[in-house]
Amino acid sequence: MAYLGGSMRLTAVHKLNWGLLAFTAFLLMIVTRIPFLQQPLIGEEGMFAMIISGYHSPALKSAQDLPSKIDEHCLLVLGHIDEAGDTLIRPGRNITPYCFLGGVVKPLIASFNTTALDFDGKSALIRSAFLALSSIGFLALCFLSYLVSLRLSGLKALLPFLILFYFTTTHLAIGSSIQPQLDGAFGFLLLSNTALLIYLGSRPLIPSWLKLSLNFLAGFLIAFCKNEWPLTLLGSVVLVYSMMFTSRFIASYRGKYFTINQIEANLLIGVGLIFGCITGMGFCYLFSPNDYLAGFSLMKNIHGSRESHIKIFFQSLKFNYQILIPNLVMLSFGLWGILKNWKSLLNNEIGLLILYVLSFGILAGFLQSGWGGDGFPRYYLPPLLLSGVFLITQIPSVFALSTNTLAIKCLTIILGVVIIFNYGSLLIKYESGESITVPGSYVDVKNSLIGAADINKKDPYGVMVHQVGLGFYFPGVNFIATDIGREGALQWPLPSPKYYLVM
C-alpha cells in the first residue's frame, strides 16, 4: 500500500510538472510574438483591419435580416470618398470567417478608443486581435503536447514541447499568427483544435459515441474557413481508408482476420470526420450560398493554369523553399514515424494517419496552384501545424524502445539551438526594418502612409491611390485601394470634377 501511494504521488507530481511546462510553453508562444506587434499593416492586412475596426457606407440598408447583417459587418473596403463613404466588395469566398471577425471580434475592439492610439498603437491593437485568435490554437497545441509528454519519461518528455516550439517559432508560424488574414489566425484557431480532437478521438479505449463525436466536431471545425481544407480532408479520408481496406484484404487473404470491434473503431473515425465535414460545409453554404459557391469559382481560377501542374509545383517549391524548410522537415520525420509505426497507425490510430495525409494534401495543393498572393506564403501554415502535430503524436512510438540517453540529450540540444537560431534570425530581420509578413520594408510603408495622409490633409480633394490601411490609420482620408490596379483606379467614378487622383 505504501508503494502504491508513493507511485500515485509520483504520477501526480509528474502530471503537475508537465502541466506547468505546457502552461509556460503557451505563455512563451505569446511572448515571442510581442516584439512584432507594432509592425505596420501592409496591403490586404488593412482590409481585415477595416472589418474589425468598422466601416460606414450610406449604400447599406439598416435591417435585421441576415443578408443586411452580412453587408454591415463582413465585407471588404476598397476605398473612401467623403459623403460617398466606404466602397465595399464581397470577399468572393466562404464569408463565415469574415462574419466571425465582424460579428464577434469587432465588438471587442470597439471597447478600445482607437482614435486615442498613435500609429504603432493601432498596429499593435489589430495584430493583437488576430494573435488572440491564434492563441486559442496555441492552447490546443500545448495541451496535446502535454498529453503526449505523459506517455514519456525523462528527457524524452521534453521532445513534444521542443518540436512544438520548433515549428511554431518559424518565420511562417510567427508571421501568420499575427497577420490580419485568414490562413494564419484561423489556421491556428481551427486546425490546431481539429488536430487535438482527432488525436483524442484516436485513443483506443474511449467509448464509441465519444470517438464518433470528437471526429464529427473535428470535421465540422475544418469547414469554417478555406473551401480547400474540408475538400482535402474528405479526399484524405477516402485515400487512407482505401489503403486500410486494401491492407485488410491482403491480410485476410493470408489468413489473418480482424475483430468486429477493431473494424468498428476505425470506421467510426472516418464516418465522424466525413459527416462533420459535410455538415460544416452545409452550414457555411446555408449561411450565404452565393459567397460559398464563389469560393469554388476562386479555387477554379487559382488552380486553372494551363501550364503543367507538376512544373508549377516544383517552381513554387523552389521559390518558397527557405520558408518551407520546416514543412519539409515535419513531413520527412513524420514519414519516418509512419514507416516505424505503420501497422499500429492503420489498425488503431487511423485518424492520425489521416492527419498526415491532410497536411501533405494541403501543401501539395497550394504548391501546384502556384498562387503567390501578396508574397507571404501563409497558405502553407496549415500543413505545417498538422504535420507538426502528427510528428509529436508519433514520439512515444518512435522512441518506445530507445534507452540511449546520450542520443536524446543530443537531440534536445540540437532542437534548442535551432529554435534560438531561427527566432534570433527573425528578430534581427525585423530590427533591420524588414517586414515579417508581406515582403518589403515596413519603415517605408509607414512613411508612405503618413505621407499620403499629409497630402490629403492639405488638399482634401486629392484622392490617394494607396493601401487600404490608409483608411484604417487615418479615418476620413480619401483613397482608392491599389488592389484594383492602375486601370481600375482611373475608371473609378469620382463624385465631382473637383476631385482628382493622386497616384
pLDDT digits 0-9 by tens, 143-185:
999 999 998 888 888 999 999 999 999 999 999 999 999 999 9
Confidence band, pLDDT 50/70/90 cuts, at residue 216: very high
Confidence band, pLDDT 50/70/90 cuts, at residue 260: low
CB-CB contact of 189 with 134 (8 Å): yes
pTM listed for this prediction = 0.92
Q: Give, in order, the Cα–Cα distances in Å from 304 to each of 50, 66, 317, 365, 370.
A: 31, 33, 18, 12, 10
Element (H, E) at 81: strand 76-81
Would you give the DSSP letter of residue 41?
P
d(CA 470, CA 371): 26
Q: Judge whether residue 4 has pLDDT over 50.
A: no
Confidence band, pLDDT 50/70/90 cuts, at residue 345: confident
Least confident window among 79-88, 266-275, 379-388: 79-88
Amino acid, single-letter form, for residue 80: H
d(CA 27, CA 430): 21
Give the model confidence (pLDDT) of 362-404 as tens digits.
999 888 887 777 889 999 999 999 999 999 999 988 877 666 7
167, 218, 159, 221: which is closest to 384 by C-alpha?
167
C-alpha cell at 315: 517552381
Mean pLDDT of the chain: 89
Q: Judge whether residue 288 has pLDDT over 80.
A: yes
For cell 505569446, the residue is 30
Q: What is the largest CA-CA distance in the chain?
A: 92
Mean pLDDT score, 196-224: 93
Q: Judge whether residue 471 has pLDDT over 70.
A: yes
CB-CB contact of 217 with 162 (8 Å): no
Mean pLDDT score, 91-116: 92
Would you give the DSSP letter of residue 33?
T
Q: Give, in order, the Cα–Cα distances in Å from 115 to each of 121, 125, 132, 473, 475.
A: 10, 12, 21, 9, 9
d(CA 419, CA 430): 17
Mean pLDDT score, 261-282: 88
322 backbone dihedrals φ, ψ, rounded to 5°: -65, -45
pLDDT given at position 5: 42
Q: Measure the CA angle with vertex 331, ends 330 and 335; round to 5°.
A: 115
Give the model confidence (pLDDT) of 128-150 as tens digits.
999 999 999 999 999 999 999 99
Amino acid, single-letter form, for residue 338: I
pLDDT given at position 480: 93
Mean pLDDT score, 265-283: 94
Q: Judge whether residue 225 has pLDDT over 60.
A: yes
Q: Give, in order, the Cα–Cα distances in Å from 232 to each of 136, 360, 363.
A: 23, 10, 10
Q: Cα–chain-centroid distance for residue 53? A: 22
pLDDT given at position 6: 43
58, 81, 80, 61: which is closest to 70 by C-alpha?
61
d(CA 364, CA 361): 5
Q: Which residues contact 132 (CB under 8 A, 6 or more apart)?
A: none
C-alpha cell at 269: 473515425
Burial tier of 4 (Cβ tally within 10 Å: 0-12, 13-18, 19+): exposed
User: Can you state the angle between helices 228-253 and 208-222, rounded to 10 degrees?
Assistant: 140
DSSP-derived 3-state class of residue 68: helix
C-alpha cell at 363: 501543401
Q: Judge whether residue 3 has pLDDT over 70.
A: no
DSSP-derived 3-state class of residue 78: strand
Give the model confidence (pLDDT) of 393-450 as tens digits.
999 888 776 667 788 888 899 999 999 999 999 999 999 999 999 999 999 999 999 9
Q: Judge whether residue 453 has pLDDT over 60.
A: yes
Mean pLDDT score, 100-112: 93
Element (H, E) at 142: helix 119-149
Give the dihedral of Cα atoms 360, 363, 365, 367; nearest 10 deg.
Answer: -130
469, 489, 486: which is closest to 477 by C-alpha?
469
C-alpha cell at 259: 475483430
Confidence band, pLDDT 50/70/90 cuts, at residue 247: confident
Q: Judge whether residue 257 has pLDDT over 90.
A: no
Q: Which residues contact 313 (CB under 8 A, 6 or more apart)?
A: 364, 367, 368
137, 142, 113: which is closest to 53 by C-alpha?
113
Mean pLDDT score, 205-209: 87
Give the model confidence (pLDDT) of 34-48 as tens digits.
999 999 999 999 999
Q: Judge whether residue 464 has pLDDT over 70.
A: yes
